[in-house]
Structure formats: C-alpha cells, structure tokens
Amino acid sequence: MANRRTREDARSRLGERAARIVRLRDDGLLLWEIAERVGVTKERVRQILAKARAAGAGPRPPGQVVTRQASILLGLSAEMRPGSFQRLMTKFGIEPVANKRGRLYWKVSSLRGIKAPKCQVCGSPIPLSRYSRSVTCSRGCSTARRHSQSSRKKAAAGDA
C-alpha cells in the first residue's frame, strides 16, 4: 500500500507530458506507439520513462513481453531464435498474444504458469532448455530410453 501511495505521489509531481507518457506505457503501448501519439522520438520517450522511474513514478511492470525477454524470464538463452521459442511454447499450449511489427509478444502471467515437464524415464524435472530438444532429463536417461525402445522392437519382431 505504501509503495502505491509513493508512486502516486511521485506521479503527481511529474509534468503533464511525462505523466501522459507513463499512463500510455501503463496501458501497454510500445515506445514507438507512444512516440507517435505524443509527437516525440522513441528515444525521448525512453528517456522520459527512465527519468520517471528514477523519481519513483515509473510505469507498472509490463503484462506482455517480446520473445527475447520471455526467453530470459524462463531462464533460457537470450539468443534463442523466435521460431524455436514459439515451437517450445506450443508444446505447453501457449500462443503469442500479439504480433506487432514482426515481433511476437507473450503474456507474462501465462509464462509464469509453466510447470517443468517430467523425464519419461526417471520422472525428474527436465530443464526447459533441454525440453526444447528432448523428453529426457539427461544423456543417461536418453540412452536408457533408446535402449528400451530397441529391445521392444526386437521383442515385437521375434513375436511376429
């Protein structure tokens, strides 16, 4: 409660344009969208928001993030390609909420709801970075899985 009050107090001390920019950012607009509405450059919008944050009047954390930020939020590589990230999220049933200027946007609350998948061999949690390529938690479990599959195929061939 105290944090909200101090943010509101700090916002009341902002200038009219800065307060409008912070409100627009709270509404989820991107820097370039705010820049077009206010009539300044995207860089100036970023500077005004940085100044507002320093004064304690910054915008709320975003409800949606671009693919790179979503990847970092999940503990994956920041260099993960957007297509690979999208395929991984499809495995969890999560779709992007928007596609603006060729960038995919993901809802933060749905990303935080992801539960670690279980290894098909030992049942331990699989790191998301490995899950994008495998259904096992380690190289040892992967070898054991291949071995059990090949022995099942041999047994099926022997029955026929």
Q: Of 155, 127, 153, 154, which Cα lies nearest the Cα of 141?
A: 127
Instruction: State which fold the 2-54 domain adopts.
Output: Arc Repressor Mutant, subunit A (1.10.10)
Other Cβ atoms closer than 10 A to 43: 10
* Whole-number pLDDT of residue 1: 45
| Domain boundaries, given as residue ranges, for the chain | 2-54, 64-112, 115-160
Q: Which helix (H) or strand (E) holds 66?
A: strand 64-66
* Whole-number pLDDT of residue 76: 84
Structure tokens at 21: 């920019």
- Look-up: residue for tokens 């009539």? 39
Grouping H, G, I as helix, E, B as strand and the rest as coil, residue 84 is helix
* Whole-number pLDDT of residue 2: 47
**Ranges of the chain whose pLDDT falls below 50:** 1-2
* Whole-number pLDDT of residue 62: 72
d(CA 25, CA 31): 8
Q: What is the pTM of this model?
A: 0.56
